């Protein structure tokens, strides 16, 4: 029996299995642990409030924690550190007395100010002496005070003066809004806002723009409104003035009417009452040109008897002109007194 002419055949591996193995070796990587994260509570802090920098996904059984001000490890910027094994907390150069570090790595900052705004870095030392770091941010905003409206002219003249209203004080990261008569500003070519909306200009103010005005300030943590501010707009009545001639004519007309009414009243008084009015003196009538004995004053004269009494009629004719002149002089004196 002849020996085999060649070596024994080898077992072949399919190509598809080899490609699958190479792909798995190329793309498979060992699982990694989650990186720590920092959550700021609240995200936007008001000045004077407390802020927490919460540490999440921190390695189990760490050797310790350290918090730094800024985004790099610098011992001069160390705030506080904590060693788990000894439960020892060490304060750093930037510790202000308002910071507290919890065993889980969370940092508390009390009564924050605007100077506390910035970055904070957490350094975690693991049990294998490896370190992990993560950075958090704090944003502190001031609580806005009550704004005050000031004016360059509190008593402007209508259709003449331009008024500039300013909302103060000026603060950073603050938006300004204006209200007039409890409504937002209407669209008008005579109402002009500055670029930052802190100044409102009223061109040639009218009584419609007297207000009241209210200024509102806003930032991410607070809203504040000013007290109402009202402009004292001065104005003149739009009436047509009378000329000097017209005024003189009116005065003369009134005086003539009053004079006629007074004379008419005097005659009515003589007609209705006996005797002579007190405003007139008692004349003595002498119908005889030769100096006859004067007659006594007329008393109880009835005008209806004039046609039947020629003698009495002649007496009345002599009496009436004197009464008219006397009462006329008296009334003229009164009118001149009131005019002067």
Tokens of 35: 């990186």
Mean pLDDT of 121-135: 93
pLDDT of residue 28: 43
With beta carbons less than 8 A apart as the criterion, state whether 169 and 219 touch: no
Residue 114 has pLDDT above 60, yes or no: yes
**What's the CATH fold of domain 37-141?**
Immunoglobulin-like (2.60.40)
Q: Residue 148 in 3-state DSSP? A: strand
Residue 295 has pLDDT above 70, yes or no: no
Domain residues of the chain, as ranges?
A: 37-141, 148-225, 260-339
- 162, HSE (Cβ side, Cα atoms, 13 Å): 8
How far apart CA 123 and CA 147 sit, in angstroms, is: 43
pLDDT bracket for residue 340 (50, 70, 90): low
Per CATH, 37-141 and 148-225 having the same topology is answered yes
User: DSSP class of residue 7?
Assistant: P
pLDDT of residue 150: 96
Q: Residue 77 in 3-state DSSP? A: helix
CATH number, domain 148-225, options 3.40.50.80, 2.140.10.10, 3.30.70.270, 2.60.40.10: 2.60.40.10
Q: Cα separations (Å) of 214 from 153, 170, 206, 234, 276?
A: 17, 16, 18, 21, 76
Mean pLDDT of 215-239: 89
Residue 70 has pLDDT above 90, yes or no: yes
**Tens digit of pLDDT for each residue in 300-322?**
445 454 444 444 444 444 544 45
pLDDT of residue 8: 41
**Tens digit of pLDDT for each residue in 235-259?**
886 434 456 667 787 888 888 887 7
How far apart CA 291 and CA 337 sit, in angstroms, is: 39
Percent of the chain with pLDDT over 90: 53
pLDDT of residue 315: 45
Residue 337 has pLDDT above 90, yes or no: no
Residue 292 has pLDDT above 80, yes or no: no
pLDDT bracket for residue 154 (50, 70, 90): confident
Q: How many CB atoms lie within 10 A of CB 40?
A: 16
Residue 98 has pLDDT above 50, yes or no: yes
For the ranges 69-83, 150-164, 259-273, the lowest mean pLDDT is seen at 259-273
Residue 283 has pLDDT above 90, yes or no: no
For residue 138, give the nearest of 119, 122, 121, 123 by alpha carbon: 119
Mean pLDDT of 285-298: 49
pLDDT of residue 332: 57
pLDDT of residue 18: 35
pTM over 0.85: no
State the chain's mean pLDDT as an integer.
78
pLDDT bracket for residue 180 (50, 70, 90): very high
């Amino acid at each position: 029996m002849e020996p085999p002419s060649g070596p024994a055949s080898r077992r072949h591996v399919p190509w598809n299995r080899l490609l699958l193995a190479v792909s798995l070796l190329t793309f498979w990587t060992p699982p990694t642990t989650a990186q720590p994260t920092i959550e700021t509570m609240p995200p936007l802090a008001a000045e004077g409030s407390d802020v927490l920098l919460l540490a999440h996904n921190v390695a189990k059984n760490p050797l310790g924690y350290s918090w730094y001000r800024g985004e790099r490890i610098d011992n001069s910027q160390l705030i506080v550190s904590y060693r788990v094994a000894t439960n020892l907390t060490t304060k750093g150069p930037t510790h202000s007395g308002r910071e507290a570090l919890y065993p889980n790595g969370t940092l508390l900052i009390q009564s924050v100010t605007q100077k506390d705004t910035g970055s904070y870095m957490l350094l975690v030392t693991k049990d294998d002496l490896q370190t992990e770091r993560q950075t958090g941010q704090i944003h502190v905003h001031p609580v806005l005070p009550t704004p005050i409206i000031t004016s360059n002219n509190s008593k402007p003249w209508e259709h003449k003066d331009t008024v500039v209203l300013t909302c103060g004080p000026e603060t950073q990261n603050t938006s300004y809004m204006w209200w007039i008569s409890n409504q937002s500003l209407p669209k008008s070519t005579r109402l002009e806002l500055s670029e930052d909306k802190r100044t409102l200009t009223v061109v040639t103010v009218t009584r419609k723009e007297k207000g009241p005005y209210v200024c509102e300030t806003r930032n991410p943590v607070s809203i504040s409104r000013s007290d109402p501010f009202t402009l004292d707009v001065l104005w003149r009545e739009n009436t047509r003035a009378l000329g000097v001639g017209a005024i003189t004519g009116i005065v003369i007309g009134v005086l003539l009417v009053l004079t006629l009414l007074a004379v008419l009243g005097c005659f009515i008084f003589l007609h209705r009452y006996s005797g002579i009015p007190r405003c007139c003196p008692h004349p003595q009538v002498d119908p005889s040109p030769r100096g006859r004995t004067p007659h006594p004053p007329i008393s109880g004269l009835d005008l209806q008897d004039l046609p039947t009494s020629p003698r009495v009629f002649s007496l009345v004719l002599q009496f009436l002109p004197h009464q008219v002149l006397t009462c006329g002089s008296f009334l003229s004196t009164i009118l001149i007194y009131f005019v002067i």
